[in-house]
Amino acid sequence: MKTKLFLLLLLYSFNSIAQKPELQYRDIDYYFIEVARLEIGKLIKMGVLIDSTTIAEEYLDKETNRLNEAGFDKYAYAKMEVYQTYFRDCLYQQHLKYNNNVYGLYFSMAGFDDIGWYIIKWDEKDWKNEERINLQQLEKSKKLKEIAYNYDEGPKNLENVNIFIKNDYLVMEREGLYHSLYDLKTDSLLINLVCPLIDAGTTFNDKEAMNKWIKENLHAKIESIISEERK
């Protein structure tokens, strides 16, 4: 009886490990909350903070109750180390299934400011429900394929980033504006600018000006194509 019970528990444990929960949509704040927690932990270990809300006296500017110059230097170092470790891979945001393929939306950091988004394609049998994709894996693996990439330099569209399928097209949307169009029937990228700021050939004074350009030169074209009846 004890042997049977042990085997049942072992089988249950194995199945629990093997059946990893399907990843669900995550916005980038999901990851930056974790990054902030890691930064605080590192600053506590470095002695810059006593706890999550208290600055050590050595690093406290008593006039502002904020970090002094030495404390800020320590913070910049801690932030750099956390970023380099945590954002060494592409991080999951969303995935969709279409026929026998899976299309995943992942993002990565370039330095401290620029964020880039990848759309990655798998055969469904090769999809491993991965939170992280190593950049070398993305470049060399034959089991996945990068089909689109874009980022913002300057003003940024970071909210409500998602992919959706309409009329057999895959669209990447950022802050309500369509940025990329992929034809699922022909397996081809139709519209995508790696960096709108650069490809526009101009310097935008603000986010509003940049998004006006995106709406006219990307969003409107994509919206027109996906709304047409397909033959």
Whether 231 shows a pLDDT value over 90: the answer reads: no
Q: Which tokens is 76 given?
A: 């910049």
Angle between helices 28-45 and 69-86 (to 10 degrees): 130
Q: What is the pLDDT of residue 113?
A: 77
DSSP 53: T
| Mean pLDDT for the stretch of residues 141-168 | 92
Q: How sure is the predictor about 192, in pLDDT bands with cuts at 50, 70 and 90?
A: very high
Q: What is the pLDDT of residue 16?
A: 43
Whether 61 shows a pLDDT value over 50: the answer reads: yes
Asked whether 171 and 180 are in contact (CB, 8 A), the reply is yes
Q: Which helix (H) or strand (E) holds 121?
A: strand 114-123
Asked whether 144 and 126 are in contact (CB, 8 A), the reply is yes
| Mean pLDDT for the stretch of residues 48-53 | 96
**Reading across the β-sheet that carries 101-110, which strands appear in turn?**
132-134, 89-98, 101-110, 114-123, 144-151
Asked whether 108 and 115 are in contact (CB, 8 A), the reply is yes
User: For residues 16 and 61, which has the higher predicted lDDT (pLDDT)?
Assistant: 61
Whether 8 shows a pLDDT value over 60: the answer reads: no
Tell me phi and psi for residue 118, to 5 degrees.
Answer: -115, 140
Give pTM, 2 decimals: 0.87
Whether 203 shows a pLDDT value over 80: the answer reads: no
Q: Which residues, at least 6 apart from 118, have a Cβ–Cβ distance to it below 8 Å?
A: 90, 104, 105, 106, 107, 108, 133, 138, 146, 148, 149
Q: Where are the domains of the chain?
A: 28-86, 89-227
| Mean pLDDT for the stretch of residues 184-198 | 91
Q: What is the pLDDT of residue 19?
A: 61
Q: Which residue has the tokens 């992919």?
A: 163
Q: How sure is the predictor about 15, in pLDDT bands with cuts at 50, 70 and 90?
A: very low
| Mean pLDDT for the stretch of residues 8-26 | 63
Q: What is the pLDDT of residue 13?
A: 46
Whether 126 shows a pLDDT value over 80: the answer reads: yes
Q: Which helix (H) or strand (E) holds 215?
A: none
Q: What is the pLDDT of residue 67?
A: 97
Q: Which tokens is 102 given?
A: 């899976």
Q: Which tokens is 190 given?
A: 């139709």
What is the rounded CA–CA span in Å between residue 27 and residue 25?
7
Q: Which residues, at least 6 apart from 106, have a Cβ–Cβ distance to it below 8 Å?
A: 90, 91, 92, 93, 117, 118, 120, 133
The per-residue pLDDT of the chain, averaged, comes to 89
| Mean pLDDT for the stretch of residues 191-216 | 83
pLDDT in tens, 93-104: 999 999 999 999
Q: Which of 107-116, 177-186, 208-217 has the lowest mean pLDDT?
A: 107-116
